[in-house]
Chain A
Amino acid sequence: MKVLVAVKRVIDYNVKIRVKADYSDVDLTNVKMAMNPFCEIAVEEAVRLKEKGVATEVVAVTVGPKAAQEQLRTALALGADRAIHIETDERAESLAVAKLLAKVVEEEQPGLVVLGKQAIDTDNNQTGQMLAALTGLPQGTFASEVAVDGDKVNVTREIDGGLQTIALTLPAIVTTDLRLNEPRYAKLPDIMKAKKKPLDVKTPADFGVEVASKVSLLKVESPAERKGGVKVASVDELIDKLKNEAKVL
């Protein structure tokens, strides 16, 4: 079966962001960008399915600016067979991305779609679920284990109370959680080969999807600063301060 993997270009997870002086947004000038960590896990899972002989083809897709092609080339280097770039410079929110991906699903007819559970910039955790609803497919979110079994897939999910395993009919949508797998690093020969793998560029208009959202961003601020703390020299001092200064004991 074909596996579709959606990936997103985001800030590198080590980056300490700063808010712009005019509070209009986060300042991304010269910030190091990378593939969203959860999307890396999604690509890894798709590639492993191909290595196991469960997936016949892995197609990577992203919605974003021209620079997002870097992330598609990374996906191709990691084992994806071809890529689709839906190019837009507009801010594409989860609903718009889900609508675009739904069109791709319609065209590509994958047996499984794998996405990261959330992007570390917006922290929405919505796209996979919305895509499932729009395509009328079942979803296995926050997956820590994915086991394809004939025409079903068993997904073990990390939930608040522990772990839950559900069975979904295929085709299905899966979103990855941290412990699903440990992604590999792309090897240099594969990075070179990836440059020749097919990468199609489309636009939202090609799919008849409006990217603009009814949600507007009014302001972005830094959270309230914590006052600096002190180092205490002993357990006695710690307990004394917690009792008498902080009054939490």
Chain B
Amino acid sequence: MSILVLADLNEGQLAGATAYVIAAAQQIGGDIDVLVAGEGVQAAAEAAAKLDGVSKVRVADNAVYAHQLAEPMGALLVELADGYTHVLASASTTGKNVLPRLAALKDVSQLSDVLAVDSADTFKRPIYAGNAIATVKSDDVLKVITVRTTGFDAVGDGGSATIEAVDTVVDNVQSSFVKQELAESDRPELGGAKVVISGGRGMGNGDNFKLLDGIADKLGAAIGASRAAVDAGFVPNDMQVGQTGKIVAPNLYIAVGISGAIQHLAGMKDSKVIVAINKDDEAPIFQVADYGLVGDLFELLPEIESKI
């Protein structure tokens, strides 16, 4: 087995998700190389070289890979995939955007959102918004896989892999980066946070999300939101937890003013402990909550903040 892991980058730095994907690669077995592709990514390459279990870090550092646009990234992966039995990436928006291009160009299927490795060719993945788990076996010569990081434990950083430059530069006349608006926050990243507090339609408006700040500060929590809150314009899209938003599995998930639609549950039902606060005692969220508190969030939130 020989595995290439596409590193997740966040503004040129190595993102936390990569350590979880390497854990999945370790369960498959075999040599693990990491591909760091972008522009000005030397620091990310050095961080990747420290992750346990990595043999080699391959660095493709060139302006054409800046922002990891799908077309050049797909072409790069096609060049490098020979010699590997598996290519993995996290199920981040980058992984989801790029990996299918590699799979199609290599005429193989892709397995998305793998959350368990049964063997080198057999995996488990969620279907129907995680309401069923499918066990699938791939006979493709190259297995292209995106990994749901909540299914694995991140590897440590006691390693020292070699770092090798990749000379491949591809042309790209089809796509170009125009701009981006990224959320700035001192809070932990939603995908990997140990505590998450999310607001839903019940919050009423974007300003009221401030009521979650004090609790989030005290608990070191990330703040998330339901689709309803994002659609209503209360908060930006990067906070959405759900089937088609972020998938989280923190130790503690507090759902405030969230009714608990199937699609939201898909994003958080693997949390270790779920708390729900809602004034409707029939809200579906109470069926998955370990602890449910029925009441007015505008009264309960300040009380919780003062008492924790």
Which residues of A approach B to under 8 Å, CB–CB?
Answer: 11, 13-14, 16-17, 19, 26, 38, 93-95, 98, 117-118, 120-127, 129-134, 137-139, 141-142, 144, 154, 157-169, 172, 177-179, 213-223, 226-232, 234-236, 238-239, 241-242, 246, 248-249
Interface size bracket, B side: 35 or more
Known: A162-B183, A215-B137. A138 touches B273 (CB 8 A): no
Q: Cβ of B238 and Cβ of A138 under 8 Å apart?
A: no
A22 to B138, CA, bound (A): 21
CB distance from B39 to the nearest CB of A (A): 15
CB distance from B283 to the nearest CB of A (A): 11
Q: Cβ of B291 and Cβ of A230 under 8 Å apart?
A: yes
Q: Cβ of B244 and Cβ of A177 under 8 Å apart?
A: yes
Partner among A11, A126, A144, A178 whose Cβ is within 8 Å of the Cβ of B110: A126
Q: Which label, helix, strand, loop or mixed, suits the secondary structure of the B interface?
A: mixed
CB distance from A219 to the nearest CB of B (A): 4
Q: Cβ of B180 and Cβ of A165 under 8 Å apart?
A: yes
Q: Cβ of A133 and Cβ of B74 under 8 Å apart?
A: yes
CB under 8 Å from chain A, chain B span 136-177: 136-140, 173-177
Q: Mark B8-21, 1 if CB is under 8 A from A, else 0.
A: 00110000000000
Q: A117-B244, A178-B244, A218-B135 are in contact. List 12 more A-B contacts (CB 8 A).
A: A17-B131, A123-B126, A123-B129, A130-B104, A158-B93, A161-B183, A163-B236, A214-B139, A215-B139, A219-B135, A230-B290, A231-B294
Closest to B172 in A: A138
Closest to A125 in B: B96
Which residues of B approach A to under 8 Å, CB–CB?
Answer: 10-11, 67, 69-71, 74, 92-94, 96-105, 107-113, 122, 126-140, 173-183, 191, 195, 219, 227, 230-231, 236-238, 243-244, 246, 251-252, 262-263, 269-270, 272-275, 281, 286-294, 300, 303-304, 307-308
Which chain B positions have C-beta within 8 A of A246?
Answer: 252, 273, 290-291
Q: Cβ of A169 and Cβ of B237 under 8 Å apart?
A: no
Which chain B positions have C-beta within 8 A of A132?
Answer: 70, 101
A227 to B290, CA, bound (A): 8
Closest to B98 in A: A129
Partner among B104, B131, B274 whose Cβ is within 8 Å of the Cβ of A133: B104
Closest to B276 in A: A229
A229 to B269, CA, bound (A): 13
A-B contact list, 25 entries, CB within 8 Å: A17-B131, A26-B127, A95-B108, A121-B127, A125-B112, A129-B101, A137-B174, A138-B175, A141-B96, A157-B93, A160-B93, A160-B94, A160-B238, A161-B238, A162-B183, A163-B182, A163-B237, A167-B176, A169-B173, A169-B174, A178-B244, A218-B122, A235-B303, A239-B308, A249-B219
A158 to B242, CA, bound (A): 14
Known: A124-B110, A133-B74, A133-B105. A161 touches B10 (CB 8 A): yes
Which chain A positions have C-beta within 8 A of B286?
Answer: 229, 231
Which chain A positions have C-beta within 8 A of B93?
Answer: 141-142, 157-160
Closest to B289 in A: A229
Which chain B positions have C-beta within 8 A of A235?
Answer: 293, 300, 303-304, 307
Q: Cβ of B109 and Cβ of A213 under 8 Å apart?
A: yes
CB distance from A179 to the nearest CB of B (A): 6
Q: Cβ of B273 and Cβ of A248 under 8 Å apart?
A: yes
Known: A125-B96, A162-B180. A178 touches B132 (CB 8 A): no
CB distance from B84 to the nearest CB of A (A): 17
Which chain B positions have C-beta within 8 A of A216?
Answer: 136-137, 139
Which chain B positions have C-beta within 8 A of A122?
Answer: 127
A122 to B269, CA, bound (A): 18
Q: Cβ of B290 and Cβ of A217 under 8 Å apart?
A: no
A139 to B93, CA, bound (A): 13
Q: Cβ of A231 and Cβ of B293 under 8 Å apart?
A: yes
